[in-house]
Structure formats: C-alpha cells, structure tokens
Structure 1
Amino acid sequence: MGVAADIIRTYRAPGAVVRHRLGPTENEGGALVTLMLACGLIFVAQWPRLSREAFVTGQEVQMLLGGALLAWLFMMPLVFYVLAAVLTAALNLMGGKASGYEGRMATFWPLLAASPLWLLWGLTMGFIGQGPAATITGALALVAFLIFWGAGLREVAFPRER
C-alpha cells in the first residue's frame, strides 16, 4: 500500500498502520526516508508563514527559509532520533518489547501521518495569520501527532496477541 493511502488509514487505525509500515524485516533506510519526508513536508508547511512574516516585518524571506531549512532538515531529524531512543528505552524499562527500529518507526511515522495537518496549519498562518483559526489548526495537528504516536508506541511496545 502506498504512503498516501497509509496516511489516510492512520486516521482510522494508527497502531495497525505502524505495524504494517514496520514490515517483516527491519529497514533502517525506510525509517530514515519516513523521517526526512516528514521533516521536509513540515519545512514546506513553514513557507506561507515565513513569507507572511517577511512581508510584515521587512526581513529577507530567504534568510527565514534558510533558518527553517536548517532546523527541519538538519536538526530535527537528530532530535527525533534521540527522542525515539530515549522513549524506546523508557518503554522497555516499563516492560515493553520494542526494538530500536520499532521505536523509531513508531515515532517517525506519526510525524509523517500528521504532516497534512501541519501543511494546513502553515497555510492558515500564511493566509490568515495569528488568531483562533491558527491556534485550532495547530492544536489539531499536535493532538493528531500525539494520538498517532501513542497508538504506535503502544502497538510496538505492548502488542496485543493475534
């Protein structure tokens, strides 16, 4: 099944999609691609917001985009790798059974699955600016990510008997 179909399916059954994305064998390249695609989409989601900010403040949009590029494509992948490692270790100390790869995929996939909502948030920030609409779409994206993340971690650390 394709990535787009799995993203849509994640909104109905996040744990099952994480299990499906894990596949029969470990694929570290797939985990890295998932993370980089998610970070890339979130970087693209920043463009409308940064364009508006540059217009309002008179700053150079290229400088703002360069900072967002550095943050989302170089720094955040490292942050998510460390976060996944720490969280997997913590879950295993609590009796979980997740491997490092499973913990990484359970962290990276929800980020990619919630990226359409981050794109919506970016458009909202770019066209409307700060306000209730931006707060609601940002909160919706964050809550979706947290729900998907929790379901994925539960699926890999404490799998149900099949």
Structure 2
Amino acid sequence: MALTTDIVATYRNPAAALRRRAVGPPREDRALVTLMLACGLYYIAQWPRIAREAHADESLTLQALLGGALLGWIFVAPLLFYLIAALSHLVARLFGGKARWYDARMALFWALLATTPLALLQGLTAGFVGPGPAETLVAVVSFGTFLVFWFLGLRLAESGEFADAA
C-alpha cells in the first residue's frame, strides 16, 4: 500500500496500518526512513510559524530561525525519538511487553509520521491565525492524536504479534 494511503488508513484503524508497516523481519532502514520523513515534515510544518515570528520581531532573521529549526528537527529530534522509543520499550517490558526493540521504534515513528497532516495544519494555523484558541485547539488535537496512535501501536507491538509474524 502507498504511504499516503496507510497514513489515511491509520485514522480509521491504527493497528492495521501499523501492522502493514512493521510486520516482518526488522528493517532498520525502514524505521530510519519513517523517522526522517516524519521529522522532515514536522520541520516543514514549522515554516509558517517561523515566518510569522521573523516578520513580527525584526531582531530575528528568517534564516536563523529556519536554521535552528532544521538543526532541531533533522539532527537532534531523531536522536531523542530513538531514546524515547527505547525508554518506552523498557517501561513496557516492566509490564510484560514482548516486543523487539525495532517494534517499539516503529510504533513511535509511525505515530509521528501518521500525525504529520495534523502537524502541517497546526503549522498553518500558527502561521496564519497566530496565537489563540484556534492554535491551541489544533495543537491539542494533534498531540492527542499522536499519543493515541503511539499508545495503540506500542500496545500492539508489545503484545509480541510482530515478533511472532517475523
């Protein structure tokens, strides 16, 4: 299935979409591409907000703000997400989780990628509408959706289903 089709399918049935993406032998290249694509789209989602901030405060340059966001989203965030995936897997192990490390990573990375449409909407809202109730609402919905997708994916992964199917 196409990536965009799986992203849309995630909003209908998160477990089935993740299952299609993660079942099989561990492929770290797939996990890394999923994460980097998500981080790249989250970086792009920041552009409208950054442009608004640069326009509102003349002491800030657009290039400096974009460079900082690039450093954060493309170089630092992937390392943090690997760490978060490892910590979530360790916590799940304490409660009887049976997943492979790869499965825990894919649950987090797929949740990030699946919520990029909402992140792009959040960026547009922050850039064009600005701070206020609309931006807050979109941010809460976006983050809540990410948490739901991640929790459902991690629960599915930690059930051991992916490792059994490999």
Which amino acid counterpart does residue 89 of structure 1 have in structure 2?
L
- Equivalent in the alignment of 2:72: 71
Query: In the aligned structure 1, how far is the partner of 2:90 from the partner of 2:130?
Result: 40
CA shift for structure 1 position 35: 0.3
Contact 1:35/1:112 (8 A) holds in 2 = yes
Answer yes or no: is 1:14 the counterpart of 2:9: no
- Which deviates further from its counterpart, 150-159 or 56-65? 150-159
CA shift for structure 1 position 23: 2.8
Query: In the aligned structure 2, how far is the partner of 1:10 from the partner of 1:159?
Result: 20
Query: In the aligned structure 2, how far is the partner of 1:159 from the partner of 1:147?
Result: 19
- Equivalent in the alignment of 1:33: 33
Which amino acid counterpart does residue 130 of structure 1 have in structure 2?
P
CA shift for structure 1 position 101: 0.3
Contact 2:119/2:142 (8 A) holds in 1 = yes
CA shift for structure 1 position 89: 1.4
TM-score, normalised on structure 1? 0.96
- Equivalent in the alignment of 2:102: 101
TM-score, normalised on structure 2? 0.94
- Equivalent in the alignment of 2:56: 56
Query: In the aligned structure 2, how far is the partner of 1:122 from the partner of 1:9?
Result: 23
CA shift for structure 1 position 22: 0.7
Query: In the aligned structure 1, how far is the partner of 2:8 from the partner of 2:17?
Result: 10
Answer yes or no: is 1:122 the counterpart of 2:136: no
Query: In the aligned structure 2, how far is the partner of 1:66 from the partner of 1:16?
Result: 37
Query: In the aligned structure 1, how far is the partner of 2:54 from the partner of 2:81?
Result: 28
Structure 2 gaps of 5+ residues are: 162-166
Seq. identity, %: 51
Query: In the aligned structure 1, how far is the partner of 2:75 from the partner of 2:51?
Result: 21
Which amino acid counterpart does residue 78 of structure 1 have in structure 2?
L
Query: In the aligned structure 2, how far is the partner of 1:63 from the partner of 1:88?
Result: 36
CA shift for structure 1 position 18: 1.2
CA shift for structure 1 position 94: 1.1
Aligned length: 162
Structure 1 gaps of 5+ residues are: none
CA shift for structure 1 position 159: 5.3
Query: In the aligned structure 2, how far is the partner of 1:56 from the partner of 1:31?
Result: 38
| 3-state SS, counterpart of residue 6 of structure 2 | helix
Query: In the aligned structure 1, how far is the partner of 2:99 from the partner of 2:160?
Result: 9
Query: In the aligned structure 2, how far is the partner of 1:79 from the partner of 1:24?
Result: 25
Which amino acid counterpart does residue 60 of structure 1 have in structure 2?
T
Query: In the aligned structure 2, how far is the partner of 1:159 from the partner of 1:71?
Result: 33
- Equivalent in the alignment of 1:132: 133
